[in-house]
Structure 1
């Protein structure tokens, strides 16, 4: 049975409802999953990297010169002429496209560290460990970038007439880039390309990494590109406006590397998060002498730079968000002649597969009454009716209210928030109760109709990956996620992403104060959207999930 269609009117601000079909909620494999017997390419695009000759010292590749001297039996120093060693033996083929999968990028980075250690051992030196405080901007003296290796004749390149970059190797979709407008521009001197692909169904972590990657690229003076070739939420421009385009051409795809960090043309994705945003990043961008929230300020500023440049919703959603914020502010406005308007308290409730950090609730969720109690406390503090001028405070308090956004439709009908307006009503995640089945005669045999599931309980990764799937043979379907989802599946996923982002935008910009749980990435995103002064210094961003302060990304183990 095909999934229920979304009824979209022709109105720009048509209200939408996303209802998932019957789902198999068993743990699903990664939608980019590869079999264990699959040969994994270890290049960034058109090349395949083989590190085994460096790890185990077999005979060198017959097609290329020996890049690393074989270790001698006696412990003598390496030849003087080997001042720098190439980490990789690269055999170019037309069989791989850009970008590689997350697993392939992760494998490359793992091999990169192994080979780096081996090369340094050949030189009689130890490899500095990240745990020992490896500097974020450490540059391996034995690393040769692709372009430099080509110029030295260690890798085939443009000088080799027998070697060509295949069209497949130049695949990928860099958002907003138009070759026709950049034909006269030189290739970027250095770049950072963020690949929007992750085995994580949620949008929040990807968005935080995207913003921080943009801020990092600006700080390092790298051109910034976004690739959305295999983004689970569809085309980037279906949700956001196109990002700023550098005044230079993107580099050849085979020059884009996921590691080391100082590669001239760097690829960043969820698979390389540890490389880009791991311990050495935290050591570099935290202020150690600060003991309060100020120590996180440099990382907050990186994310804020990315937010300001990239968070521009598509025209329809932006118009709706703007009008909705005006509507909420108008509702809070006190009658003419009164000095103080009411206070709008935004509340973000994340359920689903995201549980709180606080120990006593980590197996469940923060009780809804704690959100409501904190909202009343904020309103009482701001509009104390027993203070001087209490009459004005009475009026302001009467015009104060809470605005709610949640991934769980049941939250909106709870006793605590059933009188609170939703942040946005343009796209709703439907509950099962909103799609009742017609009554049928029990004495007559009817054709089997699968039961419709709603989003009760919140956003679960398995539900997201199963959107648009048929209930038939769902077990086998869940075990082998398709790399390319159907158009209907992508359409449903895009609606979910748009609903999530409009919720965040309205709460962050339409609220005087915001209550959320820091365990939810959306909570941390909204602090960035509010800005440091309002969210942190003024205290209008309120976390009720333990005694934790803002952090851009949870520790990457």
Structure 2
């Protein structure tokens, strides 16, 4: 048998006379072994270092895929402290658009592209990823680190009414505070003018984690997903963010019916108390209206008026009658406007409850608001008591703000800007007195609100009254306290559960 050294070392097709065909000498193996010299100490150290470095790199690669935040914190690269200047590689691009911020309908289109065709089953704040990176658009260089690191912006565009926008905005502001993001309001496309014409700048009230930082370039706004660095939300895209997944995450999972809504109620109440507040001009107008309204209250005697308990005699009912482009939700109305008498009957049904601040023998003073001028006259004629509304004000700066016609969104948008501004100021004064929001001491006190849940004024009235004030002692099964409630819905009248929702989705 031939040895391994005698076997050919070249392809069989080569000639036997070729130099490549020559067999290896039997001593070649031994010569090779004898020629190897032991590795030097330096070589062994370099080899060990190479193995160690390869191990470290392997660990970093594994961690980068399984726990990227831990890796970034370890090396001081936490995203909370960075303003990346390179592409996010997140798979999103709004480069087909030329004007920013986009319109609300355009953001809706982008959300439809991202969100349709699949359903997320993860946590509300799980970040969808594209090739391992969180889905986002590219971000521009910020060499001076002046742009806020992470933001939530509510985009106003006038596609819905004032109260509808405020109800949605209250949730967005609360989410920004919870997620430690800076909150902004963008009014570029708002058909009512500028936000600060009516409200205080939100950045002065809810300063966020980086006070004084600048809003991001609008081309970096992302409507979906909400985990993008600069999330923008508006009345049209809210259905993708404040729907079922929001309810599953933020409502009380152990509560029944109305009790499930308590955390969301608290979020809204906190936003209206701390972030969404009328500016100085509007506070002045609201105060003028309240002072004039106080003169409508009966004064039995000077002594009684000076008594510390006279707040009982300055309590009022608010009534809001929505007409225009709204249809009642309740089946019993047969899609027809709710009759004036239904509102009046609700007042006196509530009046006879034992804990009412107003003596049952009296007809309570009513602050009346409606988007329909004829309804104000109709109610005042039918009601056996004192009413007050903006058209009846003796102050020209108030009665000029009264709604001149039924509110239809499309018709409103066609009005001249100055007319829209007046109507918005009037609506905000009405909202303050109908809901009791932004109230203070030494003012007329809202006892009860008679409203329709199909109107967003009606939804916000519960926020102004407070949880127990609006719903009484809600029992463990989430049933409203019909004896002590001060929020009276004349639309659904408790026929649908839960009886109240914080906002409307469009």
| TM-score > 0.5 by shorter chain | yes
Map residues 15-414 of structure 1 onto 2, 5 A cutoff. Answer: 86=89, 88=91, 90=93, 96-113=98-115, 129-130=119-120, 133-142=121-130, 144-145=133-134, 158=141, 186-200=146-160, 202-245=161-204, 246=207, 247=211, 248-329=213-294, 331=297, 334-335=300-301, 336-337=303-304, 341=313, 343-382=315-354, 397-398=361-362, 400-414=364-378
CA contact (8 A) 2:363 2:384 kept: no
Q: In 2 relative to 1, CA 423–235 (structure 1 residues): closer, same or farther, beyond 3 Å?
A: same
Matching residue within 442, 452, 457 for 1:517: 452
Please list every run of at least 4 consecutive aligned residues from structure 1 whose deviation after the TM superposition is greater than 4 angstroms.
82-87, 89-93, 145-150, 337-340, 428-431
Q: In 2 relative to 1, CA 382–320 (structure 1 residues): closer, same or farther, beyond 3 Å?
A: farther
CA contact (8 A) 2:136 2:228 kept: no
Is the aligned partner of 1:463 residue 2:411? yes
Question: CA deviation digits over 1:398-455, x for unaligned, max 9?
Answer: 4732221111111121132486423433145779xxxxxxxxxxxxxxxxxxxxxx62
Q: In 2 relative to 1, CA 430–534 (structure 1 residues): closer, same or farther, beyond 3 Å?
A: closer
Structure 2 residue aligned with 1:543: 489
**Where does the alignment leave 5 or more consecutive residues of structure 1 unmatched?**
1-79, 118-126, 151-156, 160-182, 385-391, 432-453, 468-488
Task: Write the distance in 2 (CA, Å) between the matches of 1:362 and 1:410.
Answer: 21
Task: Write the distance in 2 (CA, Å) between the matches of 1:353 and 1:306.
Answer: 28
- 2:346 aligns to what SS in structure 1? helix
CA contact (8 A) 1:405 1:423 kept: yes
Q: In 2 relative to 1, CA 138–317 (structure 1 residues): closer, same or farther, beyond 3 Å?
A: same
Matching residue within 387, 396, 403 for 1:421: 387
CA contact (8 A) 2:317 2:449 kept: yes
CA contact (8 A) 2:322 2:372 kept: yes
In the TM superposition, residue 493 of structure 1 has moved relative to its aligned partner by 0.7
CA contact (8 A) 2:317 2:367 kept: yes
Map residues 428-467 of structure 1 onto 2, 5 A cutoff. Answer: 455=405, 458-467=406-415
CA contact (8 A) 1:334 1:341 kept: no
Q: In 2 relative to 1, CA 301–251 (structure 1 residues): closer, same or farther, beyond 3 Å?
A: same
CA contact (8 A) 1:355 1:362 kept: no
**Where does the alignment leave 5 or more consecutive residues of structure 2 unmatched?**
1-61, 67-87, 437-444, 473-483
Q: In 2 relative to 1, CA 147–251 (structure 1 residues): closer, same or farther, beyond 3 Å?
A: farther
In the TM superposition, residue 229 of structure 1 has moved relative to its aligned partner by 0.8
CA contact (8 A) 1:513 1:540 kept: yes
Q: In 2 relative to 1, CA 302–89 (structure 1 residues): closer, same or farther, beyond 3 Å?
A: closer
Q: In 2 relative to 1, CA 419–254 (structure 1 residues): closer, same or farther, beyond 3 Å?
A: same
Task: Write the distance in 2 (CA, Å) between the matches of 1:296 and 1:506.
Answer: 24
Structure 2 residue aligned with 1:14: none
Larger radius of gyration: 2
In the TM superposition, residue 460 of structure 1 has moved relative to its aligned partner by 1.5
In the TM superposition, residue 104 of structure 1 has moved relative to its aligned partner by 1.7
- 1:413 aligns to what SS in structure 2? helix
Task: Write the distance in 1 (CA, Å) between the matches of 2:133 and 2:281.
Answer: 47
Question: CA deviation digits over 1:161-182, x for unaligned, max 9?
Answer: xxxxxxxxxxxxxxxxxxxxxx
Q: Could you say which structure has the greater relative contact order, defined with CA pairs below 8 angstroms and 6 or more residues apart?
A: 1
Task: Write the distance in 1 (CA, Å) between the matches of 2:320 and 2:358.
Answer: 26
Task: Write the distance in 2 (CA, Å) between the matches of 1:459 and 1:225.
Answer: 28
- 2:133 aligns to what SS in structure 1? coil
In the TM superposition, residue 297 of structure 1 has moved relative to its aligned partner by 1.0
Q: In 2 relative to 1, CA 403–397 (structure 1 residues): closer, same or farther, beyond 3 Å?
A: farther
CA contact (8 A) 2:101 2:219 kept: no
CA contact (8 A) 1:411 1:417 kept: no
Q: In 2 relative to 1, CA 149–514 (structure 1 residues): closer, same or farther, beyond 3 Å?
A: closer
CA contact (8 A) 2:364 2:386 kept: no
Is the aligned partner of 1:552 residue 2:502? yes
Structure 2 residue aligned with 1:534: 469
Question: CA deviation digits over 1:283-304, x for unaligned, max 9?
Answer: 2122232224221111112211
Q: How many residues in Structure 1 have an aligned counterpart in Structure 2?
A: 378
Task: Write the distance in 2 (CA, Å) between the matches of 1:399 and 1:381.
Answer: 14
Map residues 476-487 of structure 1 onto 2, 5 A cutoff. Answer: none
Task: Write the distance in 1 (CA, Å) between the matches of 2:138 and 2:202.
Answer: 32
Task: Write the distance in 1 (CA, Å) between the matches of 2:94 and 2:349.
Answer: 65
Q: In 2 relative to 1, CA 244–333 (structure 1 residues): closer, same or farther, beyond 3 Å?
A: farther
Q: In 2 relative to 1, CA 430–552 (structure 1 residues): closer, same or farther, beyond 3 Å?
A: closer
Q: In 2 relative to 1, CA 507–367 (structure 1 residues): closer, same or farther, beyond 3 Å?
A: same
CA contact (8 A) 1:349 1:516 kept: yes
- 2:249 aligns to what SS in structure 1? helix
CA contact (8 A) 1:342 1:399 kept: no
In the TM superposition, residue 195 of structure 1 has moved relative to its aligned partner by 0.9
Q: In 2 relative to 1, CA 543–91 (structure 1 residues): closer, same or farther, beyond 3 Å?
A: closer
Structure 1 residue aligned with 2:23: none
Task: Write the distance in 2 (CA, Å) between the matches of 1:378 and 1:368.
Answer: 16
